[in-house]
Structure 1
Amino acid sequence: MLFCSSHRTKRPILRARRCEWMEDIWRTAANCEVAAKPTINLVRLAGSSGQHEQGRWISVKINLNLILDAKASLGEGPHWDHETKQLYFVDIEGKAVHVFHTVSHAHELHRFEKRVSSVIPATDDSLIVTLDDGIYRYYPHSGELEAIAHIEADMPDNRFNDAKCDPAGRLWAGTMSIGHAKDQGSLYRLERCSEPVRVVTGVGCSNGLAWDESKGCMYYIDTLKLGVDRFRYHSGTAEISGRETVIEWPPAEGYPDGMTIDNEGMLWIAHWGGGKVSRFDPDTGKRLAEIEVPALYVTSCVFGGERLDELYITTARVVLSEDEHALYPHAGGVFMAKPGVRGTPSRRFVL
Structure 2
Amino acid sequence: MPGGAKMSHEVPVESPVEIRAESICDVGATLGEGPIWIARDAALWFVDIKAPCVHRFDPATGTLDTWEAPDQVGWIIPADDGGFLAGVRGALHRFDPATGAFDQIAVVHAETPGNRLNDAARDPTGRVWFGTMDNAESEDTGHVYHWHDGELTKTDIPPVAITNGPAISPDGRTLYAVDTLGKRIDAYPIDAAGTVGEPRPFLTIGPDDGHPDGAICDSEGGVWVGFFGGWAARRFAPDGTCTDIVRFPVANITKITLGGPDGRTAYATTAAKGLDDEALAAQPLAGNLFTFRVAVPGVPVEPITL
Q: What TM-score, normalized to structure 2?
A: 0.90
Cα shift at 1:215: 7.7
SS at match of 1:326: helix
Structure 1's consecutive aligned runs of 4 or more residues displaced over 6 angstroms after TM superposition are none
Q: Hey, what's the Cα distance between the residues in 2 that align with 1:230 and 1:267?
A: 11
What is aligned with 1:74? 31
SS at match of 2:50: coil
Q: Hey, what's the Cα distance between the residues in 2 that align with 1:301 and 1:107?
A: 18
Please give the residue correspondences for 1:96-245 in structure 2 after superposition, counting only pairs within 5 Å: 96-192=53-149, 194-199=150-155, 200-214=157-171, 216-234=173-191, 236-245=192-201
Which amino acid letter does the alignment assign opposite residue 81 of structure 1?
I
Q: Hey, what's the Cα distance between the residues in 1 that align with 2:95 and 2:40?
A: 19
Q: Deviations over 1:282-332 (max 9, x none)?
A: 32x232221111111110001011000111111000211111111111110
Percent identical: 31
Please give the residue correspondences for 1:314-333 in structure 2 after superposition, counting only pairs within 5 Å: 314-333=269-288
Match of 2:209 among 230, 234, 253: 253
User: Does structure 1 residue 302 correspond to structure 2 residue 257?
Assistant: yes
Q: Structure 1: which 5+ residue stretches go unaligned?
A: 1-44, 47-56
Which amino acid letter does the alignment assign opposite residue 79 of structure 1?
I
The structure number with the bigger radius of gyration is 1
Report the more deviating stretch, 89-98 or 212-221: 212-221
Q: What TM-score, normalized to structure 1?
A: 0.79
User: Does structure 1 residue 313 correspond to structure 2 residue 268?
Assistant: yes
Q: Deviations over 1:156-205 (max 9, x none)?
A: 2111111121122221121111122332111111113x231101342221
Which amino acid letter does the alignment assign opposite residue 72 of structure 1?
A
The answer on whether the counterparts of 1:259 and 1:267 sit within 8 Å (CA) in structure 2 is yes
Q: Hey, what's the Cα distance between the residues in 2 that align with 1:350 and 1:228?
A: 30
Q: Hey, what's the Cα distance between the residues in 2 that align with 1:220 and 1:347?
A: 21
The answer on whether the counterparts of 1:247 and 1:286 sit within 8 Å (CA) in structure 2 is no
SS at match of 2:143: strand
Please give the residue correspondences for 1:55-74 in structure 2 after superposition, counting only pairs within 5 Å: 57=15, 62=19, 64-74=21-31
Q: Hey, what's the Cα distance between the residues in 2 that align with 1:129 and 1:268?
A: 22
Q: Structure 2: which 5+ residue stretches go unaligned?
A: 1-12
Provide the aligned length of Structure 1 versus Structure 2: 294
Q: Hey, what's the Cα distance between the residues in 1 that align with 2:148 and 2:172?
A: 22
